[in-house]
Structure 1
Amino acid sequence: MTVFTEKQANAVRLTALSREALAAGLTTGLTLADARARLPGLVAIERDHTAEARLLARAVEACRAYSPVVAPAPSDGIVLDIAGCTHAYGSEDGLVADLARRLRRQGLTLRLGLGDTPEAARARARFGAGPEADLLALPVEALEASPEITLALRRAGLKRIMDLACRPRRMLAARFGDLALRLGRLLGEEDRRITPERLIDPVFGLRRFAEPIGRVEDGLACLADLLAEAGATLLERHEGGRRFVARFFRSDGAVPGLVVETGRPVRDPGIVMRLFRERLEALADPIDPGFGFDCIRLDVPVTEPLAPAQDGLGGEDRAAAPLAELVDRLVARLGADRIARVAPLDSHIPECAVAIVPAATEPHWPAPFPDDPPLRPLRLLDPPQPIEVTYGLPEGPPRRFVWQRRAHEVARWEGPERIAAEWWRRRIGAETWLRRDADDHPLPLPLCASGRTRDYYRVEDKAGHRFWLFRHGLAGGETEMPAWYVHGLFA
């Protein structure tokens, strides 16, 4: 026989027991030493709450095939709202029987209860003799009040729920605090709604099968039907999906899933189905149907407004569609963190004007310039590289510069383009916020936090190479001797 132990009050005590241990007379709270004295062959295992939480999460996921409103009741319970969910099983008893079969295949021991409120169902499961046990006959422990209140009730001779139900509630509230509220919820006089662990997705579809299907292709065909239904719902709502989640509920309780994301809202079932197939082919561990799928669920947890398109108009959108579909296919095959794009930021400092973001996201950041900005190189050096420059004092253009021990004679130049520092960032302490690795940066502070003005020049040397240089600081005002840097290279 097996027991689970924890260290409590400087002693190792029993906290969970197998049926054989209970039948042998052991109880929770007993020290392990006393238990071994009674049963020398006892097998004791240290309790792992993390593993129990993972097991409970798996069971919660399996229960989503029966109701969209599922919530864990730690550490060993699950509550489902099955109102309106019994039509596929004929009755509540049919749903309960099917749920019991699914969870038992996962190796779980079940105690089921039904009730008009979560408290009533939980009390029948924990203290009753069956899903329809008489609530009035249950012990007062079914109220799950504190041990002190439960002990006081028993000492007063109030041992069952029926002993409390006939008492004035005002008296119980004055003597035992929230006991009257617990009693009302248990008897169905007040309903406390279930708060699901995950909110119901705006658009979802569910398909159950009388007999499990054993081929992944059949499951994908069903998924295509669900996508068509979801697309019709999204069209009615003038929305498109940005994230689609498919879950395949296996007969043994496992729930493999697929997730795809799109760079813009879509509701075309064909586009989303191609992404699901791409994702399925990219899995290192393919989905195994096992003994078959008895339920498939599609969720669209992220939606955005999408106005209906009219044929013959919106040519620009249609031109951008192939690129968006290509990005979505690459993300589905390689992963969202492998494909990125450049997004503009609201800053006129070149190295701070863009950010690398996942390609599937659609940021709503403003562009830094209302008009076309001056010509910028496609390749920026990070950090800018220091150079030695020959120029006319105090603010003349560069005539010759040395970079990486190689001299370049300037044949043509254009500029300067003056960029002031972001003084408002400096005032709030941007020197620390924007500081980079001091070992890799040639300056004590990054350039965008130094508070100095930059004069940028586009130059071309006699060999035809083009560079983007800048003078850092105004002579006489911000620094005695301005430094020069090469910030980018033109193709």
Structure 2
Amino acid sequence: MNAHSSPDRQAGHAHGPLQERQARQGEPSSASPAARRILALNFPYLATDRIARGRHGKAWRQTAPDTRPLVTAQKEKGAMRIAALDEAAEALGLCRGQGLADARAACPELDIVPADPEADRRLLAAVADWCDRYTPLVAPDGADGLFLDISGCAHLFGGEQGLLSDLMARLHEQGIAVRAALAPTPGAAWAAARFAPAPLVIEKGAEAPVLAPFPLAALRLDAETLAGLAKVGLKTVGQLAAAPRAPLARRFGRQCLLRLDQALGAVEEAISPRLPVPALSAERRLAEPVGRVEDVEQLLLSLAMRLKEDLERRGLGARALEYTLFRVDGAVHRLCVGASRPVRDPETVVRLFRERLAGVGDGFDAGHGFDVVRLNVLATGEISCRQGDFAQTGEDDNPDLALLLDRIAARLGGGAVTDGRHPVRRIEPVESHVPERAERRVPVTGNRKDSPAGEQAPEPAAPRPARLLSAPEPVEVVAGVPEGPPQRFRWRRALYRVARAEGPERIGGEWWTADAPEDLAPDPRDYYRVEDEEGRRYWLFRRGLYGPAGRGAQPQWFMHGMFA
């Protein structure tokens, strides 16, 4: 196997208390939680970077191809305006929102491409997915930014400066320009990422002096509030912080003071991760990328062995697992499997993911290899240690059957089993005369003894079709009155002539159900087995009766199934 872990990057930890993560890294334990550290990323040229990557490849910023100034345009307020632009267009004095006619006059060689906000969102989502290699706490920030909560994670990358440098260098290699800043609060990090001249690391307590010279737009205020503050001579964060608070709140509302307090750390601001935070996680960073499936499975086994210790200590097993593989070119593969019962045996985990890999097939592309792999436990369940006896029988006590069903679900891509509802189902009888209600699909690993219908379904009075429609479909029928069989019928715009017919088989309505009529006298169903001139056999029924017995209502005909 060609996988090697670099000494300073090996990480196998549970994303939980800081002291547990430190113990995994051989650091002294601390009872106090890690200081909050928020990394803000701003992508000022996201749209044009997307276009350049499509034209020249992801390494276009390194090869520096000779290109014209590039902008994207969209219609705003009845006129075509610039939606996004690259560095070259920005250097010419063009700006967002500028009319396209004025931009063409200033730069005749301008390269104009229609704006595609949906493609920009997809690229931002892909970058956010890639940022999971640094922390699982990644939150979107508008259409051009991300927040990363890296509290307690920086030591895995040689410190905060090392993490910041590594992230920016990798994004540059992928052809994406980024501005970044690190601070104790999301507001301070957001402001520094957009208004600081270079990547900035703000220590706790230094927010006020660092943000003081920034314009008030750094506080994420709306345009109307910014215009009002400018009229009274307040243009920087420092001036706003020094002004009396009560008059500001009366004139401009509490929002401007709230944003100021959030940036300076006086009021806590929460960020919402885009993905659920795993209960446990084990990770490995590789000095050399791997691409063979055998190596991927071997790494998975080592990660599962690490997680087994954490699960055993808690008395838990995994119900849903995610294997995340980060490619060196920025692509991310996520494989998810579920278990009908909690598992923590490493070999069992590998067998489930082996089925998922086989199900993905050619969709699993290692590219130039994976340099980071991570195994997440998304959901857990308690494993009770109880001694069995010889009398225990049934599906719930058959671990081999449960594993087989989990492997089938993994191969078919049924998803994770997080709520006890297995994607593989079986049919269970239900106490009902109505055919579409006479059965239900239940998780195949459930206990049949819990079913009120018992083990065996009652035998029907007449043959039932091989295929039963999920809901009866209306048909147009010509039939004898009052109780003659169908002679011809129209179903799904096709006309069928009946050659033979058997019936009727009457099934009475269920007056005790919630959808029964108020008089508790539901219309009966008369079922007919019919065969058309080409030998195809169908199951039709008439709901209601002709004449006085039908209480003045016209009967309706329905198609309910087809015989083999």
1:442 counterpart residue number:
none
- Deviation of 1:247 after TM superposition, in Å, equals 0.8
2:99 counterpart residue number:
31
Distance 1:119 1:111 in 2: 15
Amino-acid identity (%): 39
* Residue aligned with 1:51, SS: helix
- Deviation of 1:302 after TM superposition, in Å, equals 3.3
- Deviation of 1:108 after TM superposition, in Å, equals 1.1
1:226 counterpart residue number:
303
Query: Does the alignment pair 1:245 with 2:345?
Result: no
Query: Does the alignment pair 1:258 with 2:335?
Result: yes
Q: Judging changes above 3 Å, is the alpha-carbon distance between structure 1 residues 297 and 472 closer, same or farther for their aligned structure 2 residues?
A: same
- Deviation of 1:454 after TM superposition, in Å, equals 8.3
The unaligned stretches of length 5 or more in structure 2 are: 1-68, 203-209, 416-422, 480-497, 528-540, 552-559
* C-alpha distance after superposition, 1:395-422 (max 9, x if no partner): xxxxxxxx984889xxxxxxx9998554
2:414 counterpart residue number:
336
Letter paired with 1:132: V
- Deviation of 1:168 after TM superposition, in Å, equals 2.3
Q: Judging changes above 3 Å, is the alpha-carbon distance between structure 1 residues 103 and 488 closer, same or farther for their aligned structure 2 residues?
A: closer
* Residue aligned with 2:182, SS: coil
Letter paired with 1:427: P
CA contact (8 A) 1:423 1:451 kept: no
* Residue aligned with 1:323, SS: helix
2:468 counterpart residue number:
382
Q: Judging changes above 3 Å, is the alpha-carbon distance between structure 1 residues 323 and 363 closer, same or farther for their aligned structure 2 residues?
A: closer
Q: How does 1:453-472 map to 2 (within 5 A)?
A: none
CA contact (8 A) 1:421 1:452 kept: no
Query: Does the alignment pair 1:298 with 2:375?
Result: yes
Match of 1:451 among 485, 504, 522: 522
Distance 1:48 1:199 in 2: 28
Distance 1:165 1:364 in 2: 68
More divergent stretch after superposition (151-160 vs 208-217): 208-217
2:127 counterpart residue number:
59
* C-alpha distance after superposition, 1:196-240 (max 9, x if no partner): 112212233222334444544333222112223334434444443
Letter paired with 1:336: G
- Deviation of 1:286 after TM superposition, in Å, equals 4.8
2:258 counterpart residue number:
181
Distance 1:373 1:284 in 2: 40
More divergent stretch after superposition (162-171 vs 333-342): 333-342
Letter paired with 1:89: F
Letter paired with 1:21: A
Match of 2:451 among 347, 361, 367: 367
Distance 1:219 1:185 in 2: 44
1:69 counterpart residue number:
137
- Deviation of 1:142 after TM superposition, in Å, equals 0.3
Q: How does 1:74-113 map to 2 (within 5 A)?
A: 74-113=142-181
- Deviation of 1:281 after TM superposition, in Å, equals 2.3
Letter paired with 1:226: L
2:437 counterpart residue number:
352
- Deviation of 1:87 after TM superposition, in Å, equals 2.0
2:200 counterpart residue number:
131
Distance 2:262 2:164 in 1: 22
- Deviation of 1:159 after TM superposition, in Å, equals 2.0
- Deviation of 1:488 after TM superposition, in Å, equals 11
Match of 1:2 among 70, 82, 100: 70
* C-alpha distance after superposition, 1:167-200 (max 9, x if no partner): 2222322222111111111122222021111221
CA contact (8 A) 1:420 1:452 kept: no
Q: Judging changes above 3 Å, is the alpha-carbon distance between structure 1 residues 356 and 77 closer, same or farther for their aligned structure 2 residues?
A: same
1:320 counterpart residue number:
398
Match of 2:219 among 106, 125, 143: 143
Distance 2:312 2:549 in 1: 60
CA contact (8 A) 2:507 2:524 kept: no
1:278 counterpart residue number:
355
Distance 1:250 1:362 in 2: 39
Q: How does 1:208-219 map to 2 (within 5 A)?
A: 208-219=285-296
CA contact (8 A) 1:420 1:454 kept: no
* C-alpha distance after superposition, 1:356-383 (max 9, x if no partner): 46x6786999634368654458976637
Distance 2:428 2:278 in 1: 29
Distance 2:358 2:185 in 1: 45
Distance 2:340 2:518 in 1: 35
* C-alpha distance after superposition, 1:75-104 (max 9, x if no partner): 000001100111211211111122223323
* Residue aligned with 1:88, SS: helix
Distance 2:185 2:345 in 1: 41
The unaligned stretches of length 5 or more in structure 1 are: 389-402, 409-415, 430-448, 457-469, 481-486
* Residue aligned with 1:137, SS: coil
- Deviation of 1:271 after TM superposition, in Å, equals 1.8
Letter paired with 1:202: A
Where relative contact order (Cα < 8 A, 6+ residues apart) is larger, the structure is 2
CA contact (8 A) 2:137 2:273 kept: yes
- Deviation of 1:8 after TM superposition, in Å, equals 0.8
Q: Judging changes above 3 Å, is the alpha-carbon distance between structure 1 residues 199 and 90 closer, same or farther for their aligned structure 2 residues?
A: same
CA contact (8 A) 1:137 1:162 kept: yes
2:514 counterpart residue number:
424
Distance 1:71 1:455 in 2: 59
User: RMSD between aligned alpha carbons?
Assistant: 4.3
* C-alpha distance after superposition, 1:336-370 (max 9, x if no partner): 3995432455756443132346x678699963436
Q: Judging changes above 3 Å, is the alpha-carbon distance between structure 1 residues 132 and 304 closer, same or farther for their aligned structure 2 residues?
A: closer
Letter paired with 2:331: A
Distance 2:543 2:101 in 1: 76
- Give the TM-score, by structure 2 length: 0.66
Letter paired with 1:151: A
